Structure 1
Amino acid sequence: MTRLLVVCLGNICRSPLAEGALRARIAASPLAGRVEVDSAGTGGWHAGEPPDRRAIACARRHGVDISGLRARQIRPRDFHDFDWLLCADASNLRDVLRLAPPAARDRVALLLDWAGVAPGGQVPDPYYGGEDQFEEVWRMVDAAARAAVERLARTLASGIIGA
């Protein structure tokens, strides 16, 4: 089983959208049952809360239900439990790398970069924006999800652990 953790700031906008897109794309692929996805935030301000209502509405427009997700803060055991910790932006990446034990640092990456969508690419925070910003984020994370399925299918087929 390959396990992915998507990380943003508060775990109510970008990372739940990415989690939903990844889960949907994986479920519709030969990887179903072979890859698990979760999300977390670098901060704990929203712990226990559902995703932002605009994120829920955005995902719903694309046929994905994220309303049952609940925000949580990244925790030390995540570095052991997950094969990859995929960050929304450079600030999240820096924060996660600061928390990561040395042995886990090579498994922390930017989501868009890791997926092969945009080298060094960052997913902008739509929190202070409107519907258009959430749609832009959805397009980015869904493209990453499609590319991630391809990457994981190739690496799992070749027997490489951790993709």
Structure 2
Amino acid sequence: MIRVLFVCLGNICRSPMAEAIFRSKVESVGLSDQIDMDSAGTGDWHVGEPPHEGTTEILSKQKISTNGIRARQVKKVDLDRFEYVVAMDAANLGELHEMAGMQPASSISRLMDYVTDSEFEDVPDPYFDGNFEQVYEMVTEGCEKLLEHIREDKGI
């Protein structure tokens, strides 16, 4: 099983959005039996909470479910359990690399690293500016490109 973990700060906006969108894309191409996904936050403020209402609203408009998604904090063991650990921004990327320590970190990347023609490196946090539409568009494109990368990388 190929395992993908999406990581943001509090695990209520960007990373659960990525988890839900990625799950939808994986299901649409019939790879649910080969690819599993989850999300987590570097912080612990929202542990146990459902995704932010801005995330659930924009996803429900697109008929993408957030059922079963609850905020949790990323743990060092996740770096062993997940083949692809995908951060939403440079700050989260840095925290993941710090957590990895001397462990090989080749599986740790940013979501926008997969969008080669993007002017953005980071997915902005809509928790602070409320721009869930822009984040949805960026995360959707990033998830599409990530899935293409995984399919090419794994030959599936």
TM-score bracket relative to the smaller structure: over 0.9
Supply the RMSD in Å over aligned alpha carbons.
1.7
**Aligned residues of 1:113 and 1:120 also touching (Cα < 8 A):** no
1:36 is matched with which residue?
36
1:65-102 deviation digits (Å, cap 9, x = unpaired): 11431000001210110001100000111111111142
1:16 is matched with which residue?
16
TM-score (norm 2): 0.93
CA apart distance, 1:146: 1.2
Within 1, Cα distance between the matches of 2:132 and 2:54? Answer: 7
Within 2, Cα distance between the matches of 1:72 and 1:81? Answer: 15
**Aligned residues of 1:11 and 1:73 also touching (Cα < 8 A):** yes
Within 2, Cα distance between the matches of 1:5 and 1:126? Answer: 20
CA apart distance, 1:63: 1.1
With over 3 angstroms needed to count, the CA separation of the structure-2 counterparts of 1:2 and 1:10, relative to structure 1, is same
**Aligned residues of 2:114 and 2:145 also touching (Cα < 8 A):** no
Within 1, Cα distance between the matches of 2:117 and 2:68? Answer: 28
**Aligned residues of 1:7 and 1:86 also touching (Cα < 8 A):** yes
Matched, 1:2 2:2: yes
| Equivalent of residue 152 in structure 2, options 147, 151, 154 | 154
SS at match of 1:127: helix
CA apart distance, 1:155: 1.6
Identity of aligned residues (%): 35
SS at match of 1:38: strand
Moved more, 10-19 or 120-129: 120-129
Which amino acid counterpart does residue 103 of structure 2 have in structure 1? Answer: A
1:91-115 deviation digits (Å, cap 9, x = unpaired): 1111111111422322111111045
**Aligned residues of 1:55 and 1:134 also touching (Cα < 8 A):** yes
SS at match of 2:103: helix
Within 2, Cα distance between the matches of 1:116 and 1:30? Answer: 25
1:60 is matched with which residue?
60
Aligned length: 156
1:76 is matched with which residue?
76
Moved over 6 A (4+): none
Within 2, Cα distance between the matches of 1:64 and 1:73? Answer: 23
1:126 is matched with which residue?
126
Equivalent runs, 1:103-122 vs 2, <5 Å: 103-114=103-114, 116=116, 118=118, 121-122=121-122
TM-score (norm 1): 0.89
1:97-153 deviation digits (Å, cap 9, x = unpaired): 1111422322111111045463871100000223xx101111011111111221111
